[in-house]
Amino acid sequence: MRNELICAGEKTYYYAGLYKIGVYKTDETNVCLIDAGIDEEIAIKLDRLIEEKGWRVSLIINTHYHADHCGGNYYFQKKYNCKIYASKMNAALISNYDICPAIVWGATPLTVLLDHYYYTKSTIAEDIEGKELPEGLSLINLPGHAISMIGVRTEDEVIFLGDALVGVDTLKKEKITYIYEIGDYLSSLDKVEKLSAKLFIPYHSEPVRDIRELVRINRENVMNNLKRIKAICKTPRHFDDIVREFFNDVDMELTLYKYNVKGGIIKTYLTYLHNTGQMETECMDNYLMWQTIG
């Protein structure tokens, strides 16, 4: 991964490290970041590159509240007193980070799980709706990966996609990636497929000029996981049994951390199947059993 800023248009740059952070020039000296990296270490690396150019950060737009996107907020807000904008729900979460880990775990989170992917300091973020955006920026609603996630388009025809989709390498390694709501996620993929731009920048993979192939691969991954979970639940299964079978199927080894994150994603899939009438539940011998309908 390169520690450098790549120029993607007259005003648009991106950080070419592990996280593809957008850097958009709003005038001669000020920049707006699109997401902010996972932690202070990344923030400092990016800030050095920004300082070398003689720029300063006056605004951060967070695509969503996940810590790998807003973990750098604290450093930048402290140093530049910059504003932070996100969609209403995400602004509320970024400003009150203590509640965020509970979204996946479904209860007060286990302290041992609170690493920098999962927890960060709260920063003061505001609802982006009604705010005047820097000239040349517009927003694209892309819910699904996270509630009310947004993408950002720049006037150089570059689109920062947040986590609307992931790269091929990630899918090969992870098999099942984080989604908050499957129906929204699939609709957002359909939307992304129809967007036109000179460059598409997913946060976790290399930028591409044509996004359609990556959309197809991500959609296929979701469909395969839906099929896999429906097949597992052909006979009534309780949740831990489904997790076990899924992990066996895709050759992953369970850990507490994976149980939390991947287990949460499997629950998201089960919820989607239940909400769309493809799955039912029944209590048997004090187990909650999930069974595919039809």
In the complex with Zn ion, the residue whose CB is nearer, 11 or 66, is 66
* Nearest distance, CB of residue 193 and Zn ion, angstroms: 20
Rounded Cα–Cα distance for residues 292 and 158 (Å):
42
* Nearest distance, CB of residue 230 and Zn ion, angstroms: 27
* Nearest distance, CB of residue 68 and Zn ion, angstroms: 4
* Nearest distance, CB of residue 27 and Zn ion, angstroms: 29
In the complex with Zn ion, the residue whose CB is nearer, 149 or 266, is 149
* Nearest distance, CB of residue 147 and Zn ion, angstroms: 14
Surface-to-core class of residue 94, CB atoms within 10 Å of its CB (0-12 exposed, 13-18 middle, 19+ buried): buried
CB atoms under 10 Å from CB of 166, counted, come to 22
**Pair type for strands 287-292 and 279-284:** antiparallel
Q: Contact residues for Zn ion (CB under 5 A)?
A: 68, 163
In the complex with Zn ion, the residue whose CB is nearer, 136 or 167, is 167
In the complex with Zn ion, the residue whose CB is nearer, 37 or 263, is 37
CB atoms under 10 Å from CB of 205, counted, come to 18
SS3 at position 277: coil
In the complex with Zn ion, the residue whose CB is nearer, 40 or 68, is 68
**Residue carrying structure tokens 């991964």:** 1
List Cα–Cα distances, 54 to 47, 111, 190, in angstroms: 10, 41, 40
